[in-house]
Amino acid sequence: MAGTIRKKEHLVVTFSEQRSPADHVRSCDELLSECATEIVYSALLNMAGVGKRDIYNITAPFRSDGQWIIAARVESRVSELATTMFFGLGDRGTWFPIKASPLYPGLQDPCICRLGSELVFGGVRFPITLEDGSDGWRMEFYRGNSIHNLRKFFVGPDGMKDIRLCALPDSRVAVLTRPQGRVGGLGKIGFVVLDSLDDMRTDVVQRAPVFENQFRDEEWGGANEVHLLSNGLLGVLGHIACFDVHKNRHYYPMAFALDPETRFSSPIRILATRSLFPPAPHKRTDLADVIFSGGLIRNWDGTADLFAGVSDAAAGVLRIRDPFLIYEAEGGFNPVNP
């Protein structure tokens, strides 16, 4: 990838002994104190072709129509009226909008996964008008065998972002949700397994049981991408976030593992901080310390490339030790009762 390269830092990934969720749910500050990340390199992605608008909150690159593609949120620095666009890799490592590819005005924070032979694409529709007349959001999902023939098949509950899907070995579908309000507070992660993609219904997603052992009430988080691991566990790439005393937002990429049969999960681990990415502009002052996980590509050499939105104004990649290897190793999964 083209961009600014950081010198490798000789740090070691460490994992603390798990404490019972009944005794303590760890805060962002505590998780940060346990975070040590081995960096191979970090860079800002060269993304162009949209004028003066910002390109951020990207997916990891995925294959479709014989090329590498990134879906990204595109918008003005002073607006949240986004368009999701598809970018292809051009000369000299620059990503450009794909000619004749579909545009999704009003759709933020795209996500991508594959379920069997189908590509499943989702994003957050904003704004929508809620029953009380206020502005809100909901997710939309599309399916097809190419970015050029996607058709809408599911609309999520009002007020819910970060719905993510993953195919299980027996063709069932794992669904991670993120309710807010009476059930989820500022935002917690829910989980349900469906027999097939055709069983995706708003009421089923809304009622997915929530993990109570992950976030403090004054903090929040969500899933961003789900990987089926070699031993049948699910490796979840997500984010955990909090406010400081000045109401600035702090978002950190995180990971955990989940057993889809027992619903036991591992402790959350923060993977990176904003300081590990190169300098870049921010959308607003309160968003300067935001890294929004987009996707992860696992490499053959034990590393992984973490793709993310940077400060709500840029897109970056960080090559780190593969955060899911520990869950695939014997004895690497230390479950927590949900």
CA distances from 74 to 123, 151, 159 (A): 12, 21, 21
Give which of 299, 275, 272 is closest to 60, Cα–Cα.
299
**Could you give the percent of the chain with pLDDT greater than 70?**
91
- Here the tokens at position 91 are 């000369």
Q: What are the angstrom distances between the C-alpha of 311 and each of 55, 248, 283, 304, 307?
A: 11, 12, 7, 21, 13
How many whole angstroms separate alpha carbon 272 and alpha carbon 323? Answer: 11
In this model, does residue 183 exceed pLDDT 70? yes
Any idea which residue has 């069997």 for tokens?
116
Say how far apart CA 127 and CA 132 lie, in whole Å.
14
Say whether pLDDT at 2 is over 90.
Answer: no
Collapsing DSSP to helix, strand or coil, 85 comes out as: strand
The pLDDT score that the predictor gives to residue 24 is 78
pTM score: 0.92
- Residue 9 pLDDT exceeds 50: no
pLDDT at position 248, please? 98
Per residue in 37-94, pLDDT (tens digit) is: 889 999 999 999 999 999 999 999 999 999 999 999 999 999 999 999 999 999 889 9
pLDDT for 228 equals: 98
Provide the 8-state DSSP code for 171: S
- Asked if pLDDT for residue 223 goes beyond 70, the answer is yes
Give the separation between CA 119 and CA 331, rounded to whole angstroms: 34
Contact 165, 158 (CB under 8 A): no
**Residues 104-151 pLDDT 10s:** 999 999 999 999 999 999 999 999 998 888 999 999 999 999 999 999
pLDDT confidence of residue 124: 98
Q: What are the boundaries of each domain within the chain?
A: 28-328
Total Cβ atoms within 10 A of residue 131: 7
pLDDT on residue 37: 82
> 292 and 194 in contact (C-beta within 8 Å)?
no
Domain 28-328 falls in which CATH fold? Tachylectin-2; Chain A (2.115.10)
CA 328 from chain center: how many Å?
21
Across the chain, mean pLDDT equals: 91
pLDDT for 7 beyond 90: no
pLDDT at 110: 98
Three-state secondary structure readout of 12-33: CCCCCCCCCCCCCCCCHHHHHH
pLDDT tens for residues 209-219?
A: 999 899 999 99
At residue 177, the pLDDT reads 98
**Residue with the two structure tokens 């009430």:** 217
Listed in sequence order, the residues at least 6 apart from 307 whose beta carbon sits closer than 8 Å to its beta carbon are 45, 58, 59, 60, 61, 70, 294, 295, 296, 297, 315, 316, 317
132-136 — which CB contacts under 8 Å span 24+ positions? none
Which residues lie across from 321 on neighbouring strands? 303
